[in-house]
Structure 1
Amino acid sequence: MLYHLFDALTDSYSFFNVFRYLTLRAILGVLTALAISFVIGPTIIRKLAAIRFGQTVRDDGPQSHLVKAGTPTMGGALILIAVFVSTLLWADLTNRFVWAVLFTTGTFGAIGWVDDYKKIVSKNPRGIGAKQKFLWQTISGLAVALFLYYTARTPAETQLILPFFKNVVFNLGPFFIVLTYFVIVGSSNAVNLTDGLDGLAIMPTVMVAAALGVFGYVLGHVKFAGYLGFPYIPGVGEVLVFCAAIVGAGLGFLWFNTYPAMVFMGDIGALALGAALGVVAVTTRQEIVLFIMGGVFVME
């Protein structure tokens, strides 16, 4: 929103032209998300504790996890608020990639919210159940996959890039939809599983998001893409702002999540962030790289 406001003012005040630079908006995205996390974090944690939205722990899990019982969960809401506000402020809202990543993050976050709520209200660590969760993930994942496939404007947007080999790509055709679906849903569940096992998914998520943001910037820059041997994808650079917001929000959340944790991410955060990484990897054509960078998610 601020980006569009400043862009409209450039004709009258040339100073505002600086906000057209993607790198500056990415920096502002990090700082904005970080500031939002610090400002509203304590309030959200107090409210979660007041309404007894505490962590539930499965009986068949490690005994060391029993100490987590009662600690406020659903802290992922803090991350999502910071990410959405920061992205809406600094990203180009006419960009279809921005709306694709926001839609994916929001819908998977909604699935996670319902799952967390069910766990807390019913005191059942299994939440809404695997089948129902997978159903809604499938609907959301396929919707995004179809959108990206049918709005693709260049062949590069539906090609699979083989890393470490220059100019080696595979035209996926309709199989792009299948691959996109599995990447988004698989990444979402992998991050959720990692967070459920040790509660330490946020730092790997931050690092992977930062790396994918750099890929987005390179592929969206015609000179850098050509120089480094990547296909040029017009407009995909805007995902850098979104990834920067994840970095800022993640670091802000980490302040409250370090030992002894004041809050846990919950499914609302883990499912959403995992799906976010998946859809960014798809838009930047770095699905294989995501598999490599997210090794901790894959192994767990």
Structure 2
Amino acid sequence: MIQLLIDALQRLGIDFGFFRLAESVTFRALMALATSLAVAVLLGWKLVVFLYQRRLRDTSGEFLSLHTHSKQGTPTGGGLLVLLACASSALVWGHLDSVQLLLVIAGFVYLGLVGLVDDALKVRFRSSLFGLGQLTKTLLLLAFIVPFSWLLVADASPVPAALRTALFVPFVKQPLFDLGALGFFLFAVFAIFSIVNAVNVTDGMDGLLCGAATTVLAVYVVFAYVMSNAVLSRYLLFPYLTGAEELVIFGAALIGAVLGFLWRNAFPAEVFLGDTGSLAIGGAIAMMAFLLRQEMLFPIAGGLFVLEIFTSLVQEKIGTRLGRRLVLRAPFHHALTFRGIAEPKAVVRLWIVSLLLAAIALLSLKVR
């Protein structure tokens, strides 16, 4: 939006040095981060009051953890703040003619609205068990994931034709396989759906998801910056992607929004993300990963999310059928508090793990 204003002023013969600065990806990314952070921090308390007055309060089942009972009544659906701060900042500092930017914002907002409906239903029926049914939620998620995945391999894809169906893995210069259009489409549907759910189940402790998501987003912002720069991408032997710079702007805006939300979500949380925030953030990470063709980097950078969903699936799909507990508690973060580790300490330890995994992921920029 800033670019549209600058273009209009330049057509009128008005020119300032700031206009050239605004063309810098680094400057726009920093401003996008600062803008979304400021919006989230300044509007955070007003959102808490708004959600509380509308009785949008947490309804966690006490049986899940000894800690959830004391959290009942905390406003939920705070992901609305992340949606507002990120989308507005990205639209202001991004180029609105970018397919990548508009696509990611559209998916981000759509998934957030699906989560908002789920949160609202849980509040209405006063139970975390009565949100959107599992089948309904799955269909609503697939309603976006399927067309997005097909767009990745279609002729209209923003991804270059030579890269659309190739599978890249970290620490390897050349793609390992060409999955073909159908194979890559099916892989994308499965992977994006899995990433969204992995991020969703991680949102179980005050500040946990915000910290972990920030590190993963930072990794993808760095990769987007490298792949949007012809010199850096050539030097590091990565494909140059036109338009990837707008993913830098979006990623920076989302980091700012998440950090601003963390201001209110740190222990003891004044507001929860709810599915409104967790589904949107998970979808944003997945979309950035696939548009950059770095989806296989997620198991490293987002290793914490992988662990969380793995323990949940093992217990839910296998342990339940066998009638026994295969893991101490699921998702994994509940196992830490079950062992007597205080929630703030558990969160910080998991943040450290996430930071280490992010550092390993960044090594793949050079070690290839």
Match of 2:163 in 1: 156
Q: CA deviation at 1:52?
A: 1.3
Match of 1:186 in 2: 194
Counterpart secondary structure, 1:186:
helix
The residue identity in structure 1 corresponding to 2:282 is G
The residue identity in structure 1 corresponding to 2:26 is T
Moved over 3 A (4+): 7-12, 196-199
Q: CA deviation at 1:231?
A: 1.2
Match of 1:124 in 2: 127
Residue from 222, 227, 238 that aligns with 2:246? 238
Counterpart secondary structure, 2:68:
helix
The residue identity in structure 2 corresponding to 1:171 is D
Matches of 2:233 and 2:299, distance apart in 1:
22
Count of residue correspondences: 300
The residue identity in structure 1 corresponding to 2:142 is T
Q: Which moved more, 1:150-159 or 1:59-68?
A: 150-159
Instruction: Tell me the TM-score normalized by structure 1.
Output: 0.95
Residue from 294, 297, 307 that aligns with 1:299? 307
Deviations for 1:150-176, whole angstroms, at most 9, x for unmatched residues? 223431244221211123443232122
* Residue segments in structure 1 that go unaligned for 5+ positions in a row: none
The residue identity in structure 2 corresponding to 1:154 is A
* Superposition pairs of residues 69-108 of structure 1, within 5 angstroms: 69-108=72-111
Matches of 1:222 and 1:281, distance apart in 2:
19
- 2:174 paired with 1:167: yes
Match of 1:2 in 2: 2
Q: Which moved more, 1:247-256 or 1:178-187?
A: 178-187
Residue from 247, 270, 289 that aligns with 2:278? 270
* Superposition pairs of residues 196-235 of structure 1, within 5 angstroms: 196=204, 200-235=208-243
Matches of 1:90 and 1:3, distance apart in 2:
8
Match of 2:23 in 1: 20
Q: CA deviation at 1:197?
A: 6.0
Matches of 1:33 and 1:92, distance apart in 2:
16
The residue identity in structure 2 corresponding to 1:4 is L
Q: CA deviation at 1:279?
A: 0.6
| TM-align CA RMSD | 1.5
Q: CA deviation at 1:216?
A: 1.0
Larger RCO of the pair (alpha carbons < 8 Å, separation 6+): 1
Match of 2:358 in 1: none
Match of 1:287 in 2: 295
* Residue segments in structure 2 that go unaligned for 5+ positions in a row: 309-368
Residue from 249, 261, 268 that aligns with 2:269? 261
Q: CA deviation at 1:208?
A: 0.7
Q: Percent identity?
A: 36
Residue from 137, 141, 152 that aligns with 2:141? 137
Q: Which moved more, 1:194-203 or 1:88-97?
A: 194-203
CA contact (8 A) 2:207 2:266 kept: no
Deviations for 1:80-139, whole angstroms, at most 9, x for unmatched residues? 100000010011111111122112111111110110000000112121111110011111
Who wins on radius of gyration, i.e. which is larger? 2
Matches of 2:174 and 2:237, distance apart in 1:
6
Counterpart secondary structure, 1:63:
coil
Instruction: Tell me the TM-score normalized by structure 2.
Output: 0.78
Counterpart secondary structure, 2:67:
helix
